[in-house]
A and B are shown apart, each in its own frame.
Chain A
């Protein structure tokens, strides 16, 4: 049996004056690797007051985004071995930059507000309605690869310093990935309207290419590349 020490952020605004780190110890059978989420569920058996979100436990719902040893990721698809040990412990904190509701549960309102701004749905003026479904060529469909897979876990946006400093003005990597997903969609006819909404000094151009979003995305997506494409579209339109 291996003993693994966890140091977990605890904060209940109704009771606590300040956040604190609480240590837990978990027995892990020799040679067995479990996911961080599985370990946390076992810790919750020890201490039912420990709060965190989780749902699908297979990297699809995006509920269990945590800061694990300083790097954002999904607990359910991060093995303890990959999380590594920081000072002999596994340190788990809430996603940075977002208000804490309780323990590891964060208020994602700002994140969703920015997501809503990009109108994350297909807009078609219906001037050339197809007889049946909207058809796309394989090439047109391929443009959406690497964009539509985003699960809105907020690991990227909450690791982005530009989003930390201006969460009310900068859309953030997740929102911009979705913005480009619809800008790149051959069936969408609101390209100009979408670009007009993004054409200011903050919404897109606050991205300085730090690329934390790329480093942490649990789905292996590249928001920086999508943001670069939006910048090119805005630039081409202006020149």
Chain B
């Protein structure tokens, strides 16, 4: 899956499955965070930090960040191939948008495991 997502040529079935599985992860993560805010009367810095100190939460967050990267990579490729017909312009846009998506994952890693 990782190799496929990194390849230049798109695969319809793979993209279809990846979009949906990443969407499921993102939905679960969103529901979890919403649930956390609902069941926690006052969210202090200590409570928030304690939540993310848990290894389960770190892994779940990393999975969500990777899901965002996969989801945006496929989704943006689909949007760009619809609306940007010049291959060179599309390549430049894709490079910057994918770099941004990678940046989110990298920053997330530092936040989760840094300090």
Write the residues of chain A forming the contact surface with B, with a CB cutoff of 8 angstroms: 161-162, 165-166, 199-206, 208, 231, 234-235, 238
Contacts and interface: CB of A to CB of B under 8 A. Distances in A.
Closest 3 CB pairs of A and B: A205-B12, A201-B10, A165-B82
Which of B12, B16, B78, B81 neighbours the largest number of chain A CB atoms within 10 Å of its CB? Answer: B12
A225 B69 CA distance: 30
B83 interface: yes
Contacts of B46: none
Q: Is the interface of A mostly helix, strand, loop or mixed?
A: loop
Contacts of B82: 161-162, 165-166
Interface of B: 10-17, 78, 81-83
B100 to A, nearest CB: 22
Which of A161, A203, A205, A238 neighbours the largest number of chain B CB atoms within 10 Å of its CB? Answer: A205
Contacts, number: 34
A234 B13 contact: yes
Nearest to B74: A201
A205 B13 CA distance: 8
A199 B13 contact: yes
Contacts of B17: 235, 238
B12 A199 contact: yes
A166 B85 CA distance: 10
A146 B14 CA distance: 29
A208 B15 CA distance: 12
Given A231-B16, A235-B16, A235-B17, A201 B83 contact: no
A168 to B, nearest CB: 11
A115 to B, nearest CB: 20
Contacts of B10: 200-201
B81 A234 contact: no
22 contacts: A162-B82, A165-B83, A166-B81, A166-B82, A199-B13, A200-B10, A200-B11, A200-B12, A201-B11, A201-B12, A202-B12, A203-B12, A204-B12, A205-B12, A205-B13, A205-B15, A205-B16, A234-B13, A235-B13, A235-B17, A238-B13, A238-B17
A182 to B, nearest CB: 19
Nearest to B17: A235
Contacts of B15: 201, 205
Contacts of A201: 10-12, 15
Contacts of A203: 12
Contacts of B11: 200-201
A33 to B, nearest CB: 40
Nearest to A162: B82
Contacts of B81: 165-166
Nearest to B77: A201
A202 B17 CA distance: 15
A200 B105 CA distance: 28
A239 B83 CA distance: 31
Contacts of A165: 81-83
A101 B12 CA distance: 34
A201 to B, nearest CB: 4
A206 B15 CA distance: 11
A29 to B, nearest CB: 47
Contacts of A235: 13, 16-17
